[in-house]
Structure 1
Amino acid sequence: MTKADWMYDSPELLAYYQTEWGKPEHDDQRLFELLCMELYQAGLSWRTVLNKRAAFRTAFKDYEIAKVAQMTPTEIEQLLTNPAIIRNRAKLNATVNNAQAVLALQKSAGSFDQYLWGFVDGQPIVNRPRTWADVPAKSELSIQISKDLKRRGFQFVGPVVIYSFLQGAGVIDDHLMSQ
């Protein structure tokens, strides 16, 4: 499979691509879930993560930010025995940490949405590349946001993860010209 065909790998990927990926998202809880999904994907395939999405939603209380922020180390230990999710201690701990960081960000910026979309004055960056090979892994924007999120205590938010997050959230629209 080529990079150009990623969305055709499964019906779930195609449905995600057609109904969610690249659509401007403004709900803090959904943005938080998407950020978590992107950090789980680091080093894995998106298909793997998407197939475990329902289990992750159950494990992380439907990504209700305040509830996730209060999860205990004992709860994380229990999740490490759950074969329905990706059992990576660092990623699971980062989910709780990042929920706490989102709560702090909401206090300082008003909302995760306002913070994120403030980088682009509320308007998506539309690139319309000709081929998937023209889509970068990171950008100056993803580097800038990555640095700022790390400064705010977020984990697993490198520029490549953030670029993917920005694509998924519709901040950057990399749908191909032909699609």
Structure 2
Amino acid sequence: MSEKESNGNVRCQWLTKDPIYITYHDEEWGKPEYDNLRLFEILCLEGQQAGLSWLTVLKKRENYRKVFYNFNPYKISKLTHDDVKIILTNTGIIRHKSKIEAIINNAKCYIKMENNSENFSDFIWSFVNNKPKVNYWHNIKEIPNDTETSLALSIALKKRGFKFVGSTICYAFMQACGLVNDHVIDCVCRRKA
């Protein structure tokens, strides 16, 4: 079961006491997101997390927004190899060349989808039949790292050329964007998601 806080609130067990993390958990995580560009941003940021904690990425999110034009795919797609070299000197983000290049690559893939009349939000939400899947977990240990649905999303994204979109990353993305509600049943945010 989740631990009760001094104010009586119960939150998901993966949460730390970091105020940034608590605000993210309470105000963003698990809430359905339909905006194309917000979905694109979250997918890119989830890819940055690979091998790291989400809190690390979250603390650098504003820097990512500055470097990557608020995740405008049209501006990102114009970044060059020389731009990547400059970005790699920025201590405000995770300086991993393949991950940075993945954001640029994924922006181009996003644009290609749009040029093929494929709406990014509609595409993403189609994997859950346009309705959040509500899970009823009692304990964090019950929550999977990936599912058949996240694997299907991963395969479909890779088919379109996206990178850093493995099944586990896709499941974290689905949780973050509210495609699945994985707040444990006694979490204070459960009813808000």
Structure 2 residue aligned with 1:48: 56
Identity of aligned residues (%): 39
Instruction: Tell me the alpha carbon deviations over residues 121-154 of structure 1, each in whole angstroms, 9 at most, x when there is no partner.
Output: 2100111211110000000000011011111100
What TM-score do you get using the length of structure 2 for normalisation? 0.88
SS of the residue corresponding to residue 52 of structure 1 reads helix
Which of these two proteins has the greater Rg computed from alpha carbons?
2
The equivalent position to 2:87 in structure 1, one of 69, 72, 79, is 79
Q: 1-side partners of 2:155 and 2:118: how far apart?
A: 20
Q: 2-side partners of 1:134 and 1:108: how far apart?
A: 39
Structure 2 residue aligned with 1:177: 185
The equivalent position to 1:38 in structure 2, one of 46, 62, 87, is 46
Measured on the aligned residues, the alpha-carbon RMSD in Å equals 1.1
Structure 1, unmatched stretches of 5+, are: none
Displacement after TM superposition at 1:109 (Å): 4.9
Displacement after TM superposition at 1:70 (Å): 1.5
Q: 1-side partners of 2:110 and 2:102: how far apart?
A: 12
What TM-score do you get using the length of structure 1 for normalisation? 0.95
Displacement after TM superposition at 1:111 (Å): 1.4
SS of the residue corresponding to residue 128 of structure 2 reads coil
SS of the residue corresponding to residue 30 of structure 1 reads helix
* Aligned-partner residue type, residue 149 of structure 1: L
Matched, 1:96 2:104: yes
**Larger relative helix fraction:** 1
Q: 2-side partners of 1:28 and 1:38: how far apart?
A: 15
Structure 2, unmatched stretches of 5+, are: 1-11, 188-193
